[in-house]
Amino acid sequence: MPEYTEADYLLPVALYGISRPRRTARTADEGPPAETVCSMLVQILVPFLLAGLGTVFAGLLLEVVQTWDVFQEIAALLILVPALLGMKGNLEMTLASRLSTAVNAGTFQSVGEKWKLIIGNLAVKQLQATMLSLLACVLSTVFGWTTEGKMAFKHVVILCSACISSSFLASLIQGVIMVGFVFGSKRFGFNPDNMATPMAASFGDLLTLALLAGCSFFSYSNIDSYPSVLYLVALFCLCLVPLWVVIASKHPASQALLHTGWTPIIIALVISSIGGLILERTVSDPNLAGIIVYAPIINGIGGNLVSIQSSRISTGLHLNYLPGEVPADRRKCYNPCSIFFGSGLNHRSAQILLLLVIPGQLIFLYSSHLMKGAKTMPSFLLTAAFLAASVIQVFSLLCVADCMVHCLWRRGKDPDSYSIPYLTALGDLLGTALLSLVFLILWWVGDHGSL
């Protein structure tokens, strides 16, 4: 049995005795065949709008649950939200990106082997969701103790039980949905690179946040009466870890994932936790509390757009180059902003993604106000500042994505597994920081109606 590396396809073609062709004549910008700019725009626009509405609902839900007693009493829960949502988004988008690359490469030759590999990768994702949610609890506890100077033991129990159980359930539900979505979109002639990652992230945010709120409320309500139930819930999820390892280790490709891909997700989790700390400190100021509605929107949209570009570039490299090989214009120092200037499909997609920011954020900003039942629309200053922050965030992320994906591929790392966690975590941190700056500026100039 040959040894597989993290840069191989999700389902290595060597499993079927088919050699992987050395394609260097085509450029990575070509991507999947028979894709036009118009079809790309339609395929990106529809899931972008649907996913954006998911972030709007997530923001509104977060505004509601932050007033619950459990969120008011346990500050670490609010710190946990960006970290947990970012971690879950990373796992789902990484799976979606790898599956999109695999189906676009046409590597699924055997139906039986295909489903064995899918089950193995879902097992890896359950393992990562369980272990990383535990790490997220530790980080949130440390940050919460740092800000408040104390942390009651029962609050730690509530935090761990709610985080682990909500992450476990969200990962299980959404993993199955994403597998069906990727294969369904390909079956109907759509490019899953354009559609799967934003759908994975945004509706995953809403699902994870709803489960976290429900599990937190349940844990908070039963911590005094039935504390053993909370221990059993967390213990049950942790006891399944060996089962996920056994399932994943039975397949070469998923076995490789057991040893790779942990570093970017862990680093991304730490970065997102810092963003959560910024959010918690900002929300604790009554003058800036309104930021809670907009944080999931700016973070979710930024992560959605950059994940599409990352997935597209990664698929192009998988299709046309061997690990370590990059296009000629990427073999020396180059300007990362050049991704916006060119005629290739990936240049076009970057231009489309950047152009979608302003109209998309306008739709989501006003939708959020309408759903809140606000009688007045956002002020001009809030709208302009929010749009400026969003454009700066997405522009920066797309530039970083172009550089990062090619650098990872040149080092023999699979961008599908490595780039998205870094990019989405950077998007969360940059979005939260820029949004906090926007609200501080609005407060300084006296535009309190926007806050």
Evaluate if residue 388 carries a pLDDT over 60.
yes
Q: Does 317 or 395 have the greater pLDDT score?
A: 395
* pLDDT (mean) for 261-271: 80
Residues above pLDDT 90, as percent of the chain: 8
Domain that holds residue 205: 6-445
Residue 383 within any structural domain of the chain: yes
Distance CA 70, CA 161 (A): 13
Q: Does 122 or 35 have the greater pLDDT score?
A: 122
Q: What is the pLDDT of residues 6-18, one digit of tens each?
A: 444 444 433 333 3
Q: Which residues contact 342 (CB under 8 A, 6 or more apart)?
A: 29
Predicted TM-score of the model (pTM): 0.74
- pLDDT confidence tier of residue 325, bands split at 50, 70 and 90: confident
The mean pLDDT of the chain is: 78
Domain count, the chain: 1
Distance CA 198, CA 307 (A): 7
Residue 450 within any structural domain of the chain: no
Evaluate if residue 338 carries a pLDDT over 50.
yes
Distance CA 451, CA 446 (A): 10
Answer for the pair 76, 144: CB distance below 8 angstroms, yes or no: yes
Residue 451 within any structural domain of the chain: no
E-state strands within 306-437 = none
- Expressed in percent and rounded to 5, the helix, strand and coil fractions of the chain are 80, 0, 20
What is the phi/psi pair of residue 327, to 5°?
A: -55, 160
Distance CA 51, CA 62 (A): 16
What would you report as the CA-atom Rg of the chain, rounded to the nearest whole angstrom? 22
Give residue 107's pLDDT: 60
Q: At what angle do helices 357-371 and 345-355 cross, to 10 degrees?
A: 40
Answer for the pair 275, 326: CB distance below 8 angstroms, yes or no: no
Burial class of residue 313 (count of CB atoms within 10 Å of its CB; 0-12, 13-18, 19+):
buried
Answer for the pair 343, 30: CB distance below 8 angstroms, yes or no: no
Question: At residue 188, what is the residue type?
Answer: F
- pLDDT confidence tier of residue 106, bands split at 50, 70 and 90: low
